[in-house]
Chain A
Amino acid sequence: MTWVSAIVHGILLGGFYALLATGLALMFGVMRIINLAHGSLALIGAYMAFLFVEHAHISPYLALAPILPVALVAGYALQRTMLERSLRAGQLVPLLTTFGLLIVIANLLQYFFSPDVHSLDEGRIGAAAWNVSSALAIPWFDVLTLGIAVFLLGGLQLVLQHTQLGRELRATAEDPDTAELVGVNARAVYARATAIAVATAALAGVFYGMRTSFDPNAGAAELLYAFEAVVIGGIGSLWGTLWGGIVLGVAQLVGAQINTEYFALSGHVVFLAVLVVRVAIQGGRLTLVPRRAT
């Protein structure tokens, strides 16, 4: 029964990884860049929620109301000031600048909030669980997280398929130059994609802060998990991100069931194994970054 419990909790944990990975997948899908600062941006969301809880005495859920619009604007500004310039300079530069951002954010957070751990109160739902049996309890908070991830991914899918913004995003992802020719402002589309991505990062960050205590260096580790979810699920597919997150979550918790210290390691091993299998199946023609038509 403990194994069943590990798998069920792994699926729920996967929901959280999918939530964190959504913005990463969106930015990669549209701009072909991997934002190495994504986890750190999520962490800023968690720290902002902490400030609202401390000083305005509101719940972290309510704190999302001011945080999400701020994150949208911040994402738009980030694209317009930094990422746009990096994108023009080729494939390597966005990696280098977002990595620099990761280092800067982690250390600024450490300066302003000390290296100590912080946490957010998840409210009454935190302690509540559905006791399926004596060995299996399903925490409602984890179900809520998974539900929000599904809702977010489904919502994005609908936006991509049925709205003007979605059509522009898909067209720009396919070929920015041609999209420009038919009247799409690629720069504005990129900025909107980043705005959405940063807002989802902040949302995931607040949930992360409620799940577990966090410190200024947590962003990098969580980014790694989120990225593993994106890659396992198959880059470019939004629903794949959810499956990837679930595979990773189950791998980690089943590994932890064998030995608690194997949590992160078993996730990494499954990630690398998935890569090797995929390379073997595709006969070595794996290119995660397809060439753009020019």
Chain B
Amino acid sequence: MSVASVAARDARIQRWTPLSVAFTGGLAGIVAVLAFAPVVLGENSQNNLIQLYFLIIMAMMWNALAGYGGLVSVGQQGFIGIGAYAAVFLSVQHSLNPYLSMLLATFVGAALAIPVAAVVLWFKHGAFAIATWVVAEAFAIVVSLDPNPAIGGGTGTSALLPFNLRYTPTQRLHYTYWAALGAVAVLLLLLFVLLRSRLGGSLQAIRDDEEAAASVGVRVLLGKGILFVVAGAGSAAAGTIILAWQLSILPLGPDSIFGIDWTAKMIFMVLVGGLGTFEGPIIGAVALYVLQTYGPNGGVWYFVLLGGIAIGFALFLPRGIWGTIQERFNVQLLPVGYRLRNVTTGRGTA
């Protein structure tokens, strides 16, 4: 009797486990509970949670590219900046409601990602990384050269006016909080559905061996393209939330909305949490938030620590916190993968 038929008789493919059912339900519950935060929590806590939410979005998007598509982007800050600036442009120049502008700006990010993908996806690995970086730099320069007063050129701009025209500061905080939480929930759900679909399987095949994947009929460019567009939209959404949170933005310089530091943070979060795991980026975002809040105050040592920890994880714990836990205890809280469950022993393997 062949090995395959033994496996077929004794094993069942399993997507949901009792634990993952409980956790997925629990996560939906957590989101529902968090939605009441503005009623219960003070301003400080809400501000902190907004920060955590946009960090989670950025980490999720970067992980979708690198962890599922094998695409190391050093240019997602380009989409963060475009999202923020598109929201400013729509709300200041065209007097749209700022939250509607934020939603539309997210779609601007997705639309812009299509032509960018058409160019950069021809590259692999390091060349792809640099190409995305060049695109982000080009975006930043174009924005900084725009003479339009709403954009503000190199001196930056502010979305204070459109928010203050319609909302009190407290209302703005509450609505921004809900917008950020909503964005996390929607993007989490979108990725969850995408990764459980046929695309999830193709993406894993692409990440593991692109040419082999192509040879068995996986449409490599389409798969990567979908990821890149989703990541462009998500990064733009994160940019709009950053805008609503800090109100003024700069196009150039180290603290700018187009700054390379965003990519440093994304890489940190994903490496610490667990590259290529669904849950990892959330853990990584919490870790970065802890480092930001309780770590060194000076910007210099904060970034030295950030880069150093990222290098350490890449070299010594490449699966990150969640990947290591998953490997050791064989748990998956969100069922994006397939597990084989041995019927006779009752043990499952991921």
Contacts and interface: CB of A to CB of B under 8 A. Distances in A.
Interface string B131-142: 101110110011
B309 to A, nearest CB: 8
Interface in B108-143: 119, 122-127, 129-131, 133-135, 137-138, 141-142
B274 to A, nearest CB: 13
Interface string A252-294: 0000000001001100110110011001000010111101000
B50 interface: no
Given A264-B137, A265-B138, A265-B141, A279 B122 contact: yes
Nearest to A34: B126
Contacts of B72: 92, 95-96
A231 B103 CA distance: 37
Given A111-B300, A272-B138, A28 B126 contact: yes
A205 to B, nearest CB: 19
Contacts of A264: 137, 141
Contacts of A167: none
A101 B312 CA distance: 11
Contacts of A272: 119, 131, 134-135, 138
A264 B310 CA distance: 30
Contacts of A86: 314-315
Given A93-B318, A268-B134, A100 B308 contact: yes
Given A34-B129, A36-B129, A96-B267, A101 B122 contact: no
B300 A268 contact: no
B contacts with A: majority SS: helix
A89 B318 contact: yes
Interface stretch (A67-75, A128-136, A141-149, A220-228): A220-228
B149 interface: no
B129 to A, nearest CB: 6
A12 B334 CA distance: 57
A96 B141 CA distance: 25
Interface stretch (A53-61, A102-110, A170-178): A102-110
B125 A289 contact: yes
Given A104-B304, A220-B260, 14 more contacts: A33-B126, A34-B130, A36-B129, A93-B314, A96-B314, A99-B263, A102-B307, A103-B304, A108-B304, A261-B141, A264-B137, A269-B138, A284-B122, A289-B125
Interface of B: 66, 70, 72, 74, 119, 122-127, 129-131, 133-135, 137-138, 141-142, 145, 211, 254, 260-261, 263-264, 267, 271, 275, 299-301, 303-304, 306-308, 310-311, 314-315, 318
**Which 5 pairs between the two chains have the least Cβ-Cβ distance?**
A34-B126, A103-B307, A104-B307, A100-B311, A288-B127
